[in-house]
Amino acid sequence: MISSIVCLGTDWYQSLKSSTSQVIDCFYGRGMKVLWINPVPVRFPSAKRPDFWHRVQSKARVHARFLANPRKSFYVYSPIYFPAFSARAMQFNRLIITLQVLGLRHLLRMRSPLIFYSTYTAWYALPLLNRAPSVFHFADKISAFRETSSDPKRRQILDTMETELIQAASLITCSSRYIYEHALHKARDKAERVLYLPHGANASSFRSVLETNVAMPDDIKNIPKPIAGYFGSLTEANDKATFVFAAKNCPDWSFVFIGAVSGDYVELASFKNVYFLGPKAYEEIPVYGKFFDACFMGWKPHEWITNCSPIKAMEYLALGKPVICSSYIAELEQCPQLVRITRTPQEFVTALRESYEQNSVKLVNARLEYASQFSWDSHVQQILRALNN
Protein backbone atom coordinates (compact mmCIF):
# COMPACT_ATOMS: atom_id res chain seq x y z
CA MET A 1 0.00 0.00 0.00
CA ILE A 2 1.34 3.43 -1.00
CA SER A 3 1.59 5.81 1.97
CA SER A 4 3.94 8.48 0.61
CA ILE A 5 4.89 10.17 -2.66
CA VAL A 6 8.01 11.88 -3.97
CA CYS A 7 6.90 14.27 -6.71
CA LEU A 8 9.37 15.82 -9.16
CA GLY A 9 7.03 18.41 -10.57
CA THR A 10 6.58 21.98 -11.70
CA ASP A 11 7.33 24.99 -9.49
CA TRP A 12 5.21 24.55 -6.38
CA TYR A 13 5.21 28.31 -5.76
CA GLN A 14 3.68 29.36 -9.09
CA SER A 15 0.37 31.18 -8.73
CA LEU A 16 -1.70 28.83 -10.92
CA LYS A 17 -2.09 25.15 -10.16
CA SER A 18 -0.55 22.77 -12.69
CA SER A 19 -2.08 19.40 -13.52
CA THR A 20 0.70 17.82 -11.44
CA SER A 21 -0.24 19.77 -8.33
CA GLN A 22 -3.92 18.92 -8.83
CA VAL A 23 -3.16 15.19 -8.96
CA ILE A 24 -0.80 15.35 -5.98
CA ASP A 25 -3.44 17.26 -3.99
CA CYS A 26 -5.74 14.27 -4.49
CA PHE A 27 -3.07 11.83 -3.31
CA TYR A 28 -2.45 14.07 -0.30
CA GLY A 29 -6.19 14.17 0.40
CA ARG A 30 -6.04 10.38 0.76
CA GLY A 31 -3.69 10.78 3.72
CA MET A 32 -0.37 10.34 1.92
CA LYS A 33 2.83 12.11 2.93
CA VAL A 34 4.29 14.22 0.10
CA LEU A 35 7.81 15.37 -0.74
CA TRP A 36 7.63 17.81 -3.65
CA ILE A 37 10.90 18.47 -5.51
CA ASN A 38 10.94 21.76 -7.41
CA PRO A 39 12.31 21.64 -10.98
CA VAL A 40 15.82 22.02 -12.30
CA PRO A 41 15.93 23.98 -15.61
CA VAL A 42 16.58 22.07 -18.82
CA ARG A 43 18.73 24.98 -20.01
CA PHE A 44 19.93 28.38 -18.81
CA PRO A 45 17.59 31.13 -20.13
CA SER A 46 19.00 33.35 -22.86
CA ALA A 47 20.11 36.79 -21.67
CA LYS A 48 18.43 38.18 -24.81
CA ARG A 49 14.99 37.26 -23.50
CA PRO A 50 12.99 40.31 -22.32
CA ASP A 51 12.07 38.45 -19.11
CA PHE A 52 15.61 37.12 -18.43
CA TRP A 53 16.17 38.92 -15.11
CA HIS A 54 12.61 38.22 -14.01
CA ARG A 55 13.26 34.49 -14.51
CA VAL A 56 16.60 34.56 -12.72
CA GLN A 57 15.18 36.49 -9.76
CA SER A 58 12.14 34.22 -9.57
CA LYS A 59 14.34 31.11 -9.50
CA ALA A 60 16.57 32.67 -6.82
CA ARG A 61 13.54 33.36 -4.61
CA VAL A 62 12.40 29.74 -4.95
CA HIS A 63 15.79 28.33 -3.96
CA ALA A 64 16.08 30.71 -1.04
CA ARG A 65 13.17 28.82 0.56
CA PHE A 66 15.20 25.57 0.45
CA LEU A 67 12.98 23.11 2.42
CA ALA A 68 9.48 24.27 3.32
CA ASN A 69 6.60 22.63 5.15
CA PRO A 70 3.45 24.43 3.86
CA ARG A 71 1.06 21.76 5.21
CA LYS A 72 1.14 18.91 7.65
CA SER A 73 3.10 16.00 6.11
CA PHE A 74 3.71 18.01 2.92
CA TYR A 75 7.26 19.17 2.16
CA VAL A 76 8.60 21.29 -0.71
CA TYR A 77 12.31 21.16 -1.53
CA SER A 78 14.28 23.25 -4.04
CA PRO A 79 17.36 21.18 -4.90
CA ILE A 80 20.91 22.45 -5.09
CA TYR A 81 22.43 22.00 -8.54
CA PHE A 82 25.28 23.27 -10.68
CA PRO A 83 23.89 25.85 -13.19
CA ALA A 84 25.49 24.38 -16.31
CA PHE A 85 24.18 21.91 -18.85
CA SER A 86 27.20 20.23 -20.41
CA ALA A 87 27.27 16.40 -20.34
CA ARG A 88 29.70 16.44 -17.43
CA ALA A 89 27.64 18.97 -15.44
CA MET A 90 24.44 16.97 -16.02
CA GLN A 91 26.07 13.80 -14.67
CA PHE A 92 27.34 15.74 -11.65
CA ASN A 93 23.84 17.13 -11.06
CA ARG A 94 22.44 13.60 -11.32
CA LEU A 95 24.71 12.50 -8.49
CA ILE A 96 24.01 15.40 -6.14
CA ILE A 97 20.24 15.53 -6.79
CA THR A 98 19.88 11.77 -6.28
CA LEU A 99 21.77 12.06 -2.98
CA GLN A 100 19.58 15.00 -1.89
CA VAL A 101 16.36 13.10 -2.60
CA LEU A 102 17.63 9.97 -0.87
CA GLY A 103 18.66 12.02 2.16
CA LEU A 104 15.28 13.69 2.41
CA ARG A 105 13.46 10.37 2.05
CA HIS A 106 15.49 9.06 4.98
CA LEU A 107 14.95 12.23 7.02
CA LEU A 108 11.17 12.17 6.39
CA ARG A 109 10.92 8.39 6.90
CA MET A 110 9.53 7.68 3.45
CA ARG A 111 10.57 4.06 3.02
CA SER A 112 8.80 2.92 -0.15
CA PRO A 113 7.27 5.98 -1.78
CA LEU A 114 5.63 6.25 -5.17
CA ILE A 115 7.83 8.37 -7.45
CA PHE A 116 5.61 10.72 -9.46
CA TYR A 117 7.20 12.99 -12.04
CA SER A 118 6.18 15.43 -14.76
CA THR A 119 9.42 17.32 -15.42
CA TYR A 120 12.81 16.24 -16.67
CA THR A 121 14.22 16.92 -13.21
CA ALA A 122 13.34 13.26 -12.68
CA TRP A 123 16.14 12.34 -15.09
CA TYR A 124 18.61 13.63 -12.50
CA ALA A 125 17.11 11.16 -10.02
CA LEU A 126 16.81 8.32 -12.53
CA PRO A 127 18.61 5.77 -10.30
CA LEU A 128 15.72 6.07 -7.84
CA LEU A 129 13.09 5.22 -10.46
CA ASN A 130 14.41 1.71 -10.90
CA ARG A 131 13.96 0.96 -7.19
CA ALA A 132 10.35 2.06 -6.62
CA PRO A 133 6.99 2.20 -8.44
CA SER A 134 6.92 5.32 -10.59
CA VAL A 135 4.47 7.33 -12.69
CA PHE A 136 5.50 9.62 -15.54
CA HIS A 137 2.74 12.26 -15.75
CA PHE A 138 3.38 13.13 -19.41
CA ALA A 139 1.48 16.40 -19.72
CA ASP A 140 3.83 18.33 -22.02
CA LYS A 141 6.44 17.32 -24.56
CA ILE A 142 9.26 19.38 -23.10
CA SER A 143 11.63 18.68 -25.98
CA ALA A 144 9.13 20.55 -28.19
CA PHE A 145 9.06 23.72 -26.06
CA ARG A 146 9.74 26.89 -28.04
CA GLU A 147 12.95 27.57 -26.14
CA THR A 148 14.48 24.18 -26.93
CA SER A 149 13.00 22.79 -30.13
CA SER A 150 14.92 25.18 -32.40
CA ASP A 151 18.27 23.95 -31.08
CA PRO A 152 18.92 20.50 -32.65
CA LYS A 153 21.66 19.56 -30.16
CA ARG A 154 19.56 20.55 -27.14
CA ARG A 155 16.51 18.80 -28.54
CA GLN A 156 18.46 15.59 -29.08
CA ILE A 157 19.60 15.68 -25.44
CA LEU A 158 16.04 16.21 -24.23
CA ASP A 159 14.71 13.45 -26.50
CA THR A 160 17.22 11.07 -24.95
CA MET A 161 16.24 12.14 -21.42
CA GLU A 162 12.56 11.69 -22.30
CA THR A 163 13.12 8.20 -23.69
CA GLU A 164 14.98 7.12 -20.56
CA LEU A 165 12.20 8.49 -18.36
CA ILE A 166 9.55 6.61 -20.37
CA GLN A 167 11.53 3.38 -20.18
CA ALA A 168 12.04 3.73 -16.41
CA ALA A 169 8.37 4.41 -15.51
CA SER A 170 6.03 1.79 -14.11
CA LEU A 171 3.18 3.78 -15.67
CA ILE A 172 3.01 6.65 -18.18
CA THR A 173 -0.13 8.82 -18.11
CA CYS A 174 -0.63 10.99 -21.21
CA SER A 175 -2.77 14.13 -21.29
CA SER A 176 -3.27 14.27 -25.07
CA ARG A 177 -3.70 11.69 -27.80
CA TYR A 178 -0.59 12.97 -29.58
CA ILE A 179 1.53 12.47 -26.46
CA TYR A 180 -0.12 9.07 -25.96
CA GLU A 181 0.83 7.92 -29.47
CA HIS A 182 4.33 9.33 -29.00
CA ALA A 183 4.78 7.54 -25.66
CA LEU A 184 3.49 4.27 -27.13
CA HIS A 185 6.18 4.44 -29.78
CA LYS A 186 8.92 5.19 -27.24
CA ALA A 187 7.70 2.62 -24.69
CA ARG A 188 7.99 -0.32 -27.10
CA ASP A 189 7.69 -3.45 -24.94
CA LYS A 190 6.04 -1.41 -22.15
CA ALA A 191 3.07 -0.29 -24.26
CA GLU A 192 0.58 -1.79 -21.79
CA ARG A 193 1.88 0.68 -19.19
CA VAL A 194 0.91 3.71 -21.29
CA LEU A 195 -2.44 5.27 -20.33
CA TYR A 196 -4.37 8.02 -22.09
CA LEU A 197 -5.65 10.23 -19.29
CA PRO A 198 -6.96 13.66 -20.41
CA HIS A 199 -6.69 16.61 -18.05
CA GLY A 200 -9.38 17.00 -15.42
CA ALA A 201 -10.90 19.88 -13.49
CA ASN A 202 -12.23 20.53 -10.03
CA ALA A 203 -15.69 20.47 -11.57
CA SER A 204 -17.58 20.06 -8.29
CA SER A 205 -15.89 23.02 -6.58
CA PHE A 206 -16.25 25.17 -9.71
CA ARG A 207 -19.93 24.26 -9.94
CA SER A 208 -20.53 25.05 -6.27
CA VAL A 209 -19.30 28.59 -6.95
CA LEU A 210 -21.72 28.88 -9.86
CA GLU A 211 -24.63 27.69 -7.71
CA THR A 212 -23.96 29.89 -4.67
CA ASN A 213 -24.43 33.60 -4.18
CA VAL A 214 -20.77 34.64 -4.14
CA ALA A 215 -19.91 38.32 -4.19
CA MET A 216 -18.43 39.85 -7.32
CA PRO A 217 -14.74 40.74 -6.68
CA ASP A 218 -14.15 44.48 -6.25
CA ASP A 219 -11.74 44.80 -9.17
CA ILE A 220 -14.26 43.44 -11.67
CA LYS A 221 -17.42 45.20 -10.40
CA ASN A 222 -17.07 48.25 -12.61
CA ILE A 223 -15.90 46.48 -15.76
CA PRO A 224 -18.59 46.79 -18.49
CA LYS A 225 -20.19 43.62 -19.80
CA PRO A 226 -20.02 41.48 -21.82
CA ILE A 227 -16.69 40.21 -20.51
CA ALA A 228 -14.31 37.91 -22.38
CA GLY A 229 -12.05 36.36 -19.74
CA TYR A 230 -8.65 34.68 -19.73
CA PHE A 231 -6.78 33.18 -16.82
CA GLY A 232 -3.25 31.86 -16.94
CA SER A 233 0.24 33.20 -17.48
CA LEU A 234 0.90 35.48 -20.43
CA THR A 235 4.21 35.24 -22.29
CA GLU A 236 5.64 35.97 -25.71
CA ALA A 237 4.22 32.58 -26.78
CA ASN A 238 0.62 33.79 -26.52
CA ASP A 239 -1.30 35.01 -29.56
CA LYS A 240 -0.99 38.72 -28.83
CA ALA A 241 -1.87 39.71 -32.39
CA THR A 242 -5.31 38.10 -32.17
CA PHE A 243 -5.94 39.54 -28.71
CA VAL A 244 -5.08 43.05 -29.99
CA PHE A 245 -7.29 42.59 -33.07
CA ALA A 246 -10.21 41.48 -30.89
CA ALA A 247 -9.84 44.38 -28.46
CA LYS A 248 -9.70 46.84 -31.36
CA ASN A 249 -12.63 45.35 -33.28
CA CYS A 250 -14.88 44.62 -30.29
CA PRO A 251 -15.01 47.97 -28.45
CA ASP A 252 -18.32 46.89 -26.88
CA TRP A 253 -16.56 43.97 -25.14
CA SER A 254 -14.27 44.02 -22.11
CA PHE A 255 -11.23 41.75 -22.19
CA VAL A 256 -10.07 40.64 -18.74
CA PHE A 257 -6.71 38.90 -18.14
CA ILE A 258 -5.97 37.18 -14.85
CA GLY A 259 -2.43 35.92 -14.30
CA ALA A 260 1.22 36.85 -14.32
CA VAL A 261 2.53 38.75 -17.35
CA SER A 262 6.07 38.16 -18.61
CA GLY A 263 6.44 39.79 -21.99
CA ASP A 264 5.64 42.96 -23.90
CA TYR A 265 1.92 43.62 -23.55
CA VAL A 266 2.10 47.42 -23.77
CA GLU A 267 0.04 47.62 -26.97
CA LEU A 268 -2.73 45.40 -25.63
CA ALA A 269 -2.79 47.29 -22.32
CA SER A 270 -3.29 50.58 -24.19
CA PHE A 271 -6.89 49.71 -25.10
CA LYS A 272 -9.54 51.11 -22.76
CA ASN A 273 -11.53 47.86 -22.89
CA VAL A 274 -8.59 45.68 -21.75
CA TYR A 275 -8.00 44.95 -18.05
CA PHE A 276 -5.01 43.18 -16.48
CA LEU A 277 -5.98 42.10 -12.96
CA GLY A 278 -2.75 40.27 -12.10
CA PRO A 279 -2.30 36.83 -10.49
CA LYS A 280 -5.04 35.49 -8.22
CA ALA A 281 -5.12 32.60 -5.77
CA TYR A 282 -6.38 29.41 -7.39
CA GLU A 283 -9.44 29.41 -5.11
CA GLU A 284 -10.45 32.80 -6.54
CA ILE A 285 -10.34 31.71 -10.20
CA PRO A 286 -13.88 30.23 -10.37
CA VAL A 287 -15.24 33.28 -8.56
CA TYR A 288 -13.92 35.59 -11.27
CA GLY A 289 -14.88 33.10 -13.98
CA LYS A 290 -18.48 33.10 -12.79
CA PHE A 291 -18.82 36.67 -14.06
CA PHE A 292 -17.24 36.08 -17.48
CA ASP A 293 -19.59 35.88 -20.47
CA ALA A 294 -17.09 33.90 -22.56
CA CYS A 295 -13.58 32.52 -22.06
CA PHE A 296 -10.73 32.50 -24.52
CA MET A 297 -7.15 31.39 -25.06
CA GLY A 298 -4.56 31.40 -27.80
CA TRP A 299 -0.90 30.84 -28.59
CA LYS A 300 1.36 31.34 -31.59
CA PRO A 301 1.44 28.25 -33.85
CA HIS A 302 4.05 25.73 -32.75
CA GLU A 303 4.54 21.98 -32.45
CA TRP A 304 4.34 22.17 -28.65
CA ILE A 305 0.98 23.92 -28.44
CA THR A 306 -0.58 22.03 -31.38
CA ASN A 307 -0.08 18.73 -29.54
CA CYS A 308 -0.64 19.75 -25.92
CA SER A 309 -3.78 19.67 -23.80
CA PRO A 310 -4.46 23.07 -22.16
CA ILE A 311 -5.81 22.56 -18.67
CA LYS A 312 -7.65 25.89 -18.83
CA ALA A 313 -9.96 24.53 -21.56
CA MET A 314 -11.40 21.99 -19.13
CA GLU A 315 -11.61 24.60 -16.37
CA TYR A 316 -13.46 27.00 -18.68
CA LEU A 317 -15.94 24.22 -19.48
CA ALA A 318 -16.29 23.49 -15.74
CA LEU A 319 -17.56 27.06 -15.47
CA GLY A 320 -20.13 26.39 -18.21
CA LYS A 321 -18.76 29.19 -20.36
CA PRO A 322 -18.39 29.43 -24.15
CA VAL A 323 -14.75 28.71 -25.07
CA ILE A 324 -12.89 30.23 -28.01
CA CYS A 325 -9.34 29.25 -28.92
CA SER A 326 -7.28 31.09 -31.54
CA SER A 327 -4.84 28.18 -31.92
CA TYR A 328 -5.26 24.80 -33.55
CA ILE A 329 -4.87 22.22 -30.77
CA ALA A 330 -5.57 18.65 -31.84
CA GLU A 331 -6.79 17.57 -28.38
CA LEU A 332 -9.62 20.13 -28.45
CA GLU A 333 -11.18 18.27 -31.37
CA GLN A 334 -12.39 15.78 -28.76
CA CYS A 335 -15.11 18.30 -27.88
CA PRO A 336 -15.77 20.22 -31.14
CA GLN A 337 -19.27 21.39 -30.18
CA LEU A 338 -18.04 22.89 -26.90
CA VAL A 339 -14.85 24.69 -27.98
CA ARG A 340 -14.60 26.98 -31.02
CA ILE A 341 -11.17 26.69 -32.69
CA THR A 342 -10.37 29.63 -35.00
CA ARG A 343 -7.64 30.16 -37.60
CA THR A 344 -7.63 33.94 -38.11
CA PRO A 345 -8.22 37.02 -35.92
CA GLN A 346 -11.46 37.73 -37.79
CA GLU A 347 -12.70 34.18 -37.19
CA PHE A 348 -11.88 34.67 -33.51
CA VAL A 349 -13.99 37.83 -33.31
CA THR A 350 -16.87 36.16 -35.15
CA ALA A 351 -16.72 33.10 -32.88
CA LEU A 352 -16.65 35.28 -29.77
CA ARG A 353 -19.77 37.19 -30.79
CA GLU A 354 -21.65 34.12 -32.03
CA SER A 355 -20.82 32.03 -28.95
CA TYR A 356 -22.17 34.78 -26.71
CA GLU A 357 -25.31 35.42 -28.77
CA GLN A 358 -26.12 31.72 -29.21
CA ASN A 359 -25.42 30.69 -25.64
CA SER A 360 -28.23 28.86 -23.86
CA VAL A 361 -29.01 26.90 -20.70
CA LYS A 362 -28.75 23.71 -22.76
CA LEU A 363 -25.22 24.57 -23.90
CA VAL A 364 -24.16 25.61 -20.39
CA ASN A 365 -25.38 22.27 -19.01
CA ALA A 366 -23.61 20.37 -21.82
CA ARG A 367 -20.30 22.02 -20.91
CA LEU A 368 -20.77 21.32 -17.20
CA GLU A 369 -21.70 17.71 -17.91
CA TYR A 370 -18.66 17.19 -20.12
CA ALA A 371 -16.24 18.63 -17.53
CA SER A 372 -17.78 16.57 -14.73
CA GLN A 373 -16.58 13.37 -16.45
CA PHE A 374 -12.93 14.30 -15.86
CA SER A 375 -12.19 14.87 -12.18
CA TRP A 376 -8.69 14.79 -10.71
CA ASP A 377 -9.81 12.27 -8.12
CA SER A 378 -10.90 9.87 -10.87
CA HIS A 379 -7.40 10.31 -12.35
CA VAL A 380 -5.87 9.14 -9.09
CA GLN A 381 -8.24 6.17 -8.93
CA GLN A 382 -7.23 5.10 -12.45
CA ILE A 383 -3.53 5.51 -11.63
CA LEU A 384 -3.78 3.38 -8.50
CA ARG A 385 -5.83 0.75 -10.36
CA ALA A 386 -3.26 0.59 -13.17
CA LEU A 387 -0.35 0.28 -10.72
CA ASN A 388 -2.08 -2.60 -8.94
CA ASN A 389 -2.74 -4.57 -12.13
Q: Looking at the structure, do residues 27 and 170 belong to the same domain, yes or no? A: yes
Q: Looking at the structure, do residues 111 and 48 belong to the same domain, yes or no? A: yes
pTM: 0.89
Q: Looking at the structure, do residues 99 and 191 belong to the same domain, yes or no? A: yes
- Measure CA 84 to chain center: 26
Element (H, E) at 88: helix 87-107
Contacts of 2 (CB under 8 A, 6+ apart): 32, 112, 113, 114, 133, 384, 387
Q: Looking at the structure, do residues 67 and 160 belong to the same domain, yes or no? A: yes
Structural domains of the chain, count: 2
Give the HSE-up count for residue 77: Cα atoms under 13 Å, Cβ half-sphere: 22
pLDDT of residue 320: 96
One-letter amino acid at 355 equals S
Domain around 220: 203-372
Q: Looking at the structure, do residues 208 and 130 belong to the same domain, yes or no? A: no
Nearest alpha carbon to residue 278 among 299, 247, 257, 254: 257
Q: Looking at the structure, do residues 28 and 76 belong to the same domain, yes or no? A: yes
Q: What sign does the dihedral 322-241-304-35 (CA atoms) show?
A: negative
Q: Looking at the structure, do residues 138 and 65 belong to the same domain, yes or no? A: yes
pLDDT per position as a tens digit, 99-136: 999 999 999 999 889 999 998 889 999 888 777 899 99
pLDDT per position as a tens digit, 164-213: 999 999 999 999 999 999 999 998 778 899 999 999 998 888 989 999 99
Q: Looking at the structure, do residues 218 and 180 belong to the same domain, yes or no? A: no
Q: Looking at the structure, do residues 323 and 256 belong to the same domain, yes or no? A: yes
Q: What percent of the chain has pLDDT over 90?
A: 66
Q: Looking at the structure, do residues 209 and 196 belong to the same domain, yes or no? A: no
Q: Looking at the structure, do residues 107 and 249 belong to the same domain, yes or no? A: no
pLDDT per position as a tens digit, 219-247: 999 999 999 999 999 999 999 999 999 99
pLDDT per position as a tens digit, 167-178: 999 999 999 999
Domain of 287, CATH number, reads: 3.40.50.2000
Q: What sign does the dihedral 261-263-264-265 (CA atoms) show?
A: negative
Q: Looking at the structure, do residues 228 and 116 belong to the same domain, yes or no? A: no
